[in-house]
Structure 1
């Protein structure tokens, strides 16, 4: 039913509903293509896309066959219990993607087919539909305990599919988990790259094991984010890109705090990380 992608190729993941998700208008580019500004319009991208705005997208944006590969489970990771939603094989996955939600979220957010314009459904299909496994854990706290729990999940995923790429993605307050993970060398050596959406900036990122390993890092942010200012993340990105660090920044013009989760082009982003030589 689902084809396995050859993850050794540069364009790893084949198209999936690209006509609906990948036909975004680029308003501006910079830094030799590492920075781009994408046109965002709430009337078009929410009201024109959703059957019930922000609650249920139109049916054409989702493909529900992937639910056959979805399970809820509770993992015991070095004695720490972690509730996760898993989409895809429990062992031998071609690659792993982990999504960490923000405040007041849980594992249900990252597998909800109909919210955020169906973008999580696309992510599930891109990952599990190509032989990968997707995990959406319930993170209880965004402190060192939360970092420990997600680090345990990274170790677990690595043990289930040794040597295969693991991509860690974090949204909003969940970005604190990603930044915490960058400081743990044991976690970093198992990672392929990271995605930060609508997140906080980390002024000490350059001291981290992740930075020293020069693993690819993709930022996505709305220009009008009232929770975490886009300018803070852009400042970090500009410092990184000037040093030749493998990074990309997508800014959604007029986008709000939730815009990147709705609008990020998962195929483009994951392919960029999977194609990295690091």
Structure 2
């Protein structure tokens, strides 16, 4: 779908539909062609692709991925959990990275923007968890270089990557993120918006999903070692069939994987054809999905889902 926004301040907006991908009379071939046109081009796919798939079900809607600290941390990092090896990182992307203080009606929002601030083909935003900051989402060398990869993927595909600060995981934080999306969506009105939420940041993902304007505008939600929302099925995003991908460590002690898998299965039980899938990193811990999620594979899957 393509949308344009007309905003009247925080919490008040008019959503104007300018084009519908699956409009009456459009052929399946046309829809597939547009999905392929939106697909992200490769960037270091050989290094960041998932290791062995231990099991899968439902046409890859639920996958268990092999995970090994010896391979996925010790061999990938020059300094374990602190500095990825050089081949996993391309720092030239810093040339188009800005640390911005945006003045809005709700206050100043500090954030990093990487890529095209205007006319972006796609926007991806990362929302950090408890104790994090905007710096986490642009750190080139932590988490095995995976944040560096998403930055490079956005820049290579004429996109924009955002990593903001926010006050809390409640209503004020959600209002700040809404204001930031207001600003950039207005400058790239046709860009699908992917929001990835790490750990407690998921509380903001679910608040965005419930927003009657933002929810339907989203191109996808990516929950990384995060929490669930029992009311998701009543949200605007659910009714708009916004794709949702879960990445979770099989040994996560902060948000145990069993609870998140039950939540995933509750979505598919309520709506068997809902566009959602689950990636379980066997033996992985709380931070594993941030390190191991294949950004390109999951975003391309979300972009390919028709509504």
Contact conserved, 2:216 with 2:242, CA < 8 A, in 1?
Answer: no
Instruction: Report the Cα offset of residue 140 of structure 1.
Output: 2.3
Instruction: Assess, with a 3 A threshold, how the Cα gap between structure 1 residues 28 and 8 changes in structure 2: closer, same or farther.
Output: closer
Rg (Cα) greater in structure: 2
Give me the whole-angstrom Cα distance separating, in 1, the residues matched to 2:265 and 2:50: 26
The answer as to 2:180 corresponding to 1:153 is yes
Matching residue of 1:3: none
Instruction: Using the TM superposition, give the Cα deviation of residue 237 of structure 1 relative to its aligned residue in structure 2, in angstroms.
Output: 0.8
Is 1:18 paired with 2:45?
yes
| Cα deviation 1:144-190 (Å, max 9, x = unaligned) | 11111111122222101012211111000000010111111111132
Quick one: structure 1 residues 65 and 138, their matched pair in 2 at CA, closer, same or farther if it must change by over 3 Å?
Answer: same
SS of the residue 1:221 aligns to = strand
TM-score by length of 1: 0.95
- Aligned runs of 1:139-178 on 2, under 5 Å? 139-178=166-205
Q: Which runs of 5+ in 1 are unaligned?
A: 1-5
Taking the aligned partners of 2:160 and 2:217, their CA distance within structure 1 comes to 15
Written as runs of structure 1 = structure 2, the 5 A alignment for 1:107-122 is 107-122=134-149
State the alpha-carbon separation in 1 of the partners of residues 160 and 246 from structure 2: 22
Counterpart of 2:55? 28
* C-alpha contact 1:46 1:53 (8 A) present in aligned 2: yes
Q: Aligned partners of 2:155, 2:104: CA distance in 1, in Å?
A: 23
Q: Is 2:80 the partner of 1:53?
A: yes
| Alignment: residue pair count | 273
Q: What's the C-alpha RMSD, in Å, of the aligned pairs? A: 1.4
How big is each residue's C-alpha offset from its partner over 1:87-129, in whole Å with a ceiling of 9 and x where there is no partner?
Answer: 0011111110000000111111000000000000011011122
Q: How far apart, CA to CA, are the structure 1 residues paired with 2:34 and 2:84?
A: 30
Gaps of 5+ in 2: 1-32
Aligned partner (choices 247, 253, 268) of residue 297 of structure 2? 268
Q: Deviations over 1:237-278 (max 9, x none)?
A: 112123221101000000000000000000101101111212
Residue 230 (structure 1) aligned to one of 257, 266, 274:
257
Counterpart of 2:277 (choices 237, 243, 248) is 248
Mapped to 2, the partners of 1:56 and 1:104 lie a distance apart of 20
